Amino acid sequence: MGRLTALRGEIWLVDLGMTQKTRPVLILSVAYKGEERALVSYVARTTSLRGTEYEVPHQAAKFLPGAFDVQSIGTVPDVQLVRRLTVCDAGTLAKVEDALKRWLALR
């Protein structure tokens, strides 16, 4: 079986190890090519809401109510991808991008 390829804006189930377990994440990075490192960057989805300005609400079929927590940005090797769940709607993706820019002071 070939490598799994995650595309920006997709929601994937990813194995984040023993402490964070397997959970849904929103892929933020573009697909790698050629000799680039086989990594994907993401923001984790949580159902343990704290109400911070860095949580972007997300509701979709087959998901419990939750949010993408931009403070939980991370990067993993593509071998930790488990399976693609769905595609995030454009409006939510834009809100995640805006919140991430605020969190990282990129504005």
- Does residue 42 lie within any of the structural domains? yes
Task: Report pLDDT digits (tens) over 31-63.
Answer: 888 888 889 999 999 999 999 999 999 999 999
Split at pLDDT 50, 70, 90, the class of 5 is confident
| Overall domain count for the chain | 1
d(CA 95, CA 9): 12
- Does residue 92 lie within any of the structural domains? yes
φ/ψ of 10, rounded to 5, equals -85, 155
Domain that residue 90 falls in: 10-104
Q: Which residue intervals of 6-89 are DSSP H helices?
A: 17-20
pTM: 0.92
Split at pLDDT 50, 70, 90, the class of 25 is very high
What is residue 31's predicted lDDT score, i.e. its pLDDT? 86
Residue 47, both tokens: 């159902």
- Does residue 74 lie within any of the structural domains? yes
- Does residue 4 lie within any of the structural domains? no
- Does residue 32 lie within any of the structural domains? yes
- At position 41, the amino acid (one-letter code) is S
- The dihedral formed by the CA atoms of 33, 34, 38 and 43, expressed in degrees to the nearest 10: -10
Task: Report pLDDT digits (tens) over 70-98.
Answer: 999 999 999 999 999 999 999 999 999 99
Task: Report pLDDT digits (tens) over 56-69.
Answer: 999 999 999 999 99
- Does residue 76 lie within any of the structural domains? yes
- Does residue 15 lie within any of the structural domains? yes
Domain CATH number, residue 61: 2.30.30.110
- Does residue 17 lie within any of the structural domains? yes
d(CA 102, CA 81): 27
**C-alpha distances out from residue 93 to 36, 63, 68, Å:** 25, 16, 10
